[in-house]
Amino acid sequence: MTEKREVGKRIEELAAEIRRHNDLYYNEGSPEIADSEYDARVRELRALVEEHPDLAPREDPLVAVGAPLRRSKAFAQVSHRVPMLSLESLTSEEEIREFDQKAHRYLAVDVGDEAEAREPFEYSLEPKYDGVSASLLYEKGKLVRGLTRGDGSTGEEITKNLLAVQGVLPSFDAQKAPELVEIRGEVLIPRQRFEELAAEREAQGEIPFRNARNAVAGSLKRLKSEGLESLGMQFLFWGVGDLKGWQDLGSYSQLAERVAGLGFTISPLFTHGTGIEAVLAYHADLELRREELPYEMDGTVAKVDDFGLQHRLGRTAKAPRWALACKFKPRRATSQVLDIGLQVGRTGIVTPVAHLAPVEISGVTVQRATLHNFDLLAERDVRIGDSVIVERAGDVIPEVISVLISERPRDSRPFDVPETCPECHEDLEKEGAFLFCTNIDCPAQIQGRIVHLASRKALDIDRLGRKYVDQLFDAGLVKTVDDIFFLQDHREELLALDRWGEKSYENLVRELDRAREPELPRFLYGLGIRHVGRKVARDLAEAFGSFEALREADEEQLIEIEGVGPVVAREVVRFLESASNRTFLSRLEEAGVRPRSMEIRAGEALPLASQIFVFTGGLETMSRDQARERVESLGAATASGISKRVTTVVAGSKAGSKLDKARKLGLEILDEDGFRSLIEGLE
């Protein structure tokens, strides 16, 4: 009896904990534990309930979808016409095979369809995107309302905000439309756009979004929809709810094709395959390539393609028996903060870094993770001794994303924000969310500036990577940035170092000689001026033509350049007027460094000056980035969202809601052939 009481107690504890984590994830967008740990709790609860069904919890999270909606005055709560079910999440090959076998057994035993049970299923296959689910109700081709997933039965009505998402259509051809359809899909921010947003927020001194999903979740709950288009959110179809019409469709693949014909975006990775081996192969391939793909994903989804089989397989209380989600190996894990250190970057920014108890994430042992800046450190309240969730995504530095407050030591205290630089001990200055060391002779800055100046996108000096620069510093051969251009005078000292020989010395000298006459945009980027990335460097180079002309410019002249605002202008002038930087630039001249001048490209003289282009849909003969570069080289600006300021919209295949908005505003619209004819006639 005591043992059963303990089991009942554990079941209630797990149920309460899972409900709390559901609320944190779905309502707040701030999970406290890694997905793998959440899944482990769900598995433990499911196993206990299966063994002791009489002890099932009163509010069973195993049969719930999402989390109960919190009351909100901002958004009305509306019932879904058809519940938005979750999928059974599986994490191993054995579980995936068992799912397939159970489905076949169900057909053979419960349905009595032995013929179908012997045939391998035809599966539709697509990514499991890590975004925010939404449901769009259309009647006779017109959008009636858009809802969040909510708790699966009820969602929040956010129609206006969803209309700011690329791919959400306000209407479509009524001739092609069914009488009624709930189009369902995922709202996402592409990986590249999220990185741009993070850089923009940091440049403005704002705290960056924690991740792309968090950015979407927060943006869709804004009280005002103005400005949402600029975030670059996109909607990708993954299913339907209620449907009246299209009775001729026999499979999910046919449905996806029909929905794409209306103008919605289907995942470019959507495909289908026969049998469970095809499911496993697709999953393995996407997991291997996940960091190369444009959207964040945490697994794959497989659905029995045939609608007749779907109907016969049916559903459980929470999930359909004909679909499964295959989860990728976790990129998050729990560790402990052993210490919080300080790292000084090449521009002087001081970044807090968590030193962690070693933990393996995606096959890599992680011992350090970034905390970004001191405002974010304070917001997340990370302390020494805390148990934390750490996330690693591809080659990105691991990040502490949340703290397990319930496990915090009683004697912990907040981290003290430093007042002086940990490297040179000069006073720090605060700018927005960041602390800066303004001493340009700070050793940490010098090493970082050399590595940046020598990087492939700047002067491209291969022999001056981080390890070699550290070695040169330790040997006393480099003390300032300009010292690198005098290294040829230290042949004997270089040859005495490890990993240096006559050939490597000659390669360095040859690369230094080439780097003494760099292209002006590369040189400006390589200087490491705060907020001056590659695009701004090129804008400055094209506006002034020579480094000498740029050095004579004041803030007013700089602000007149497209893409250069007051913050950038101030930083450029401050860098060029600094006494220590003037000495540094004089030493570069002494070493023979002469950036090549280029033809001044006055905006008024360029054929597409004052025009603004937006690209939507896929182009066949070039990427959208290449298309942007071509119009920008002709004087045009580019934008991500449609507004009255836009002059031309280039619409490729599967163009979405941007095309509809462009038509309503009466903007010029070009297809790919028209666009190519335009630019080829001007270049």
Computed over every residue of the chain, the mean pLDDT equals: 84
Please tell me whether residues 274 and 361 are part of one structural domain.
Answer: no
Please tell me whether residues 10 and 115 are part of one structural domain.
Answer: no
CATH of the domain at 206: 3.30.470.30
The set of catalytic residues is: 128
Please tell me whether residues 425 and 312 are part of one structural domain.
Answer: no
pLDDT, one tens digit per residue, over 152-185 is 888 899 999 999 898 999 998 878 889 999 999 9
Please tell me whether residues 222 and 342 are part of one structural domain.
Answer: no
Q: Structural domain of residue 348, as residue ranges?
A: 332-436
- 536 falls within a domain: no
- 225 falls within a domain: yes
DSSP codes of every residue in 169-226: -SB--TTT--SEEEEEEEEE--HHHHHHHHHHHHHTTPPPPSSHHHHHHHHHT-S--T
CATH of the domain at 656: 3.40.50.10190
Q: Which of 38-42, 66-70, 281-285, 496-500 has the lowest mean pLDDT?
A: 66-70
- 240 falls within a domain: yes
- 607 falls within a domain: yes
User: How far is it, in rounded angstroms, from Cα 91 to Cα 280?
Assistant: 11
User: Taking the CB of residue 414, how many other CB atoms lie within 10 A of it?
Assistant: 11
Closest CA to 508 of 476, 485, 483, 481: 485
CATH of the domain at 53: 1.10.287.610
Please tell me whether residues 248 and 360 are part of one structural domain.
Answer: no
pLDDT, one tens digit per residue, over 375-414 is 888 888 999 999 998 887 654 678 888 888 888 998 999 9
Q: Which of 436, 468, 493 is the last residue of a domain?
A: 436
**Which 8-state DSSP code applies to residue 70?**
P
pLDDT, one tens digit per residue, over 414-448 is 999 999 999 899 889 887 778 888 787 788 888 88
Structure tokens at 275: 């049998």
Please tell me whether residues 320 and 378 are part of one structural domain.
Answer: no
- 294 falls within a domain: yes
Please tell me whether residues 250 and 368 are part of one structural domain.
Answer: no
Q: Which of 395, 419, 436 is the last residue of a domain?
A: 436
pLDDT, one tens digit per residue, over 126-155 is 999 988 999 999 999 999 999 998 888 888
DSSP codes of every residue in 128-139: EE-SEEEEEEEE
User: How far is it, in rounded angstroms, from Cα 419 to Cα 319?
Assistant: 54
The amino acid sitting at 193 is R
Sheet holding 637-639, edge to edge: 637-639, 612-616, 648-651, 668-670
Please tell me whether residues 351 and 279 are part of one structural domain.
Answer: no
pLDDT of residue 422: 92
- String of b and e for 265-277 (b: at least 16 CB within 10 Å)? bbbebbebbeebe
Please tell me whether residues 363 and 322 are part of one structural domain.
Answer: no
- 261 falls within a domain: yes
Q: Which of 292, 327, 362 is the last residue of a domain?
A: 327
Mean pLDDT along residues 55-78: 68
- Is 0.95 topped by the overall pTM? no
- 461 falls within a domain: no
pLDDT of residue 138: 95
Please tell me whether residues 138 and 224 are part of one structural domain.
Answer: yes
Please tell me whether residues 320 and 229 are part of one structural domain.
Answer: yes
pLDDT tier, 603 (very low <50, low <70, confident <90, very high otherwise): very low
- 445 falls within a domain: no
Domain count along the chain: 4
Q: What is the largest CA-CA distance in the chain?
A: 89
Mean pLDDT along residues 635-652: 80
Please tell me whether residues 261 and 294 are part of one structural domain.
Answer: yes
